[in-house]
Structure 1
Amino acid sequence: MAVTISAMFIAVHDPDAALGFYRDALGLEVRNDVASDGFRWVTVGAPGQDVDIVLSQPHGGRSQAEGDALLSLVMQGSLQAAIFRSDDLDTTFEKVRASGAEVLEEPTSQPWGARDCAFRDPSGNLVRIAQA
């Protein structure tokens, strides 16, 4: 039996701003862009990788109270969105920094062996990028 990842979800308050980060700065491709009932979600993914990342608004498909609670966590920067890998961390870091993304940590060799960096996406989510 094999289990693989099909999709993951990242809550974002503004899908267009999220595209500026995930598509334009990180280089992910847009796979789907859907609007329904006043909400929008955009599916992106790394070229050649069969994992979808769904960028969804906190209130889409949730009650008002649940959406408000999730939005509050997102806007506080309390959620870690994802850890990506790059085959050239320094170049990726410079490209993402040039996009205007908030830098939390420049490329650093971590005590646990990884070399990575950290940003906040436009919604406040923590995004790390590790050297592949």
Structure 2
Amino acid sequence: MDISIHYAFLPQTDPEAALGFYRDSLGFEVRNDVGYEGMRWITVGPPNQPETSIVLYPPAAEPGITDDERRTILELIAKGSYGAVTLATDDLDSLFATLVDSGAEVVAEPADQPYGVRDCAFRDPTGNLLRINQR
């Protein structure tokens, strides 16, 4: 059986800020940018991995949720405890410096973890947690 990850979804509450982070700071390419009723779904991904993408979606667009549930989701997003993704790079220190220079919110500086990984962590403009591992 051959299975791969095609899309992962992360909420975004500001499409332009999300583009600035994922495209301009991380260097991801924009694969799709779709608007509907004042909302935008932006698909981005690393240029060297055309089959793997992150869809940055408007959380308010989820069908079937109540206004109270929508408020709760937005509160969790604002606290940074709703969405997360782990990325990997060959040069963690260089990427860390690039993201710091871009103004990204640092959660953890590069460090060797007791579970055997060297990584760091940031929050994207929406508050999603991004851990970045050294390959």
Aligned residues: 132
Measured on the aligned residues, the alpha-carbon RMSD in Å equals: 1.2
2:88 alignment counterpart? 85
> Residue 115 of structure 1: which of 103, 110, 118 is its match?
118
TM-score between the two structures when normalised by the length of structure 2: 0.92
Q: Determine helix, strand or coil for the equivalent of 2:41.
A: strand
- What residue identity is the alignment partner of 2:31? R
TM-score (norm 1): 0.94
In 2, the alpha carbon distance for the partners of 1:106 and 1:15 equals 26
Matches within 5 A, 1:62-73: 62=63, 63-65=65-67, 66-73=69-76
Amino acid in the other structure paired with 1:72: E
Q: Which residue of 2 aligns with 1:25?
A: 25
Checking the alignment, whether the CA contact within 8 Å between 1:115 and 1:130 is kept in structure 2 is yes
Which residue in 2 is equivalent to 1:16?
Answer: 16
CA contact (8 A) 2:9 2:55 kept: yes
Distance in 1, matches of 2:25 and 2:2, equals: 33
1:64 CA displacement: 4.9
1:60–1:67: 8 Å Cα contact kept in structure 2? no
Instruction: Give the letter aligned to residue 127 of structure 2.
Output: G
Deviation at 1:128, TM superposition (A): 0.7
Letter in structure 2 aligned against 1:9: F
SS in 2 for 1:32: strand
1:54 aligns with 2:76: no
The C-alpha deviation readout for 1:91-110, integer Å capped at 9, x for no partner, is: 00000111111111110000
Distance in 1 (CA, whole Å) between partners of 2:58 and 2:66 is 12
Check conservation: 2:86, 2:130, Cα contact below 8 A: yes
1:87-131 deviations in whole A, cap 9, x for unaligned?
110000000111111111110000011000001111111111111
Q: Deviation at 1:69?
A: 2.5
Q: 1:129 is paired with a residue of what secondary structure? A: strand
Q: Percent identity?
A: 52
1:106 correspondence with 2:96: no
Unaligned runs of 5+ in 1: none
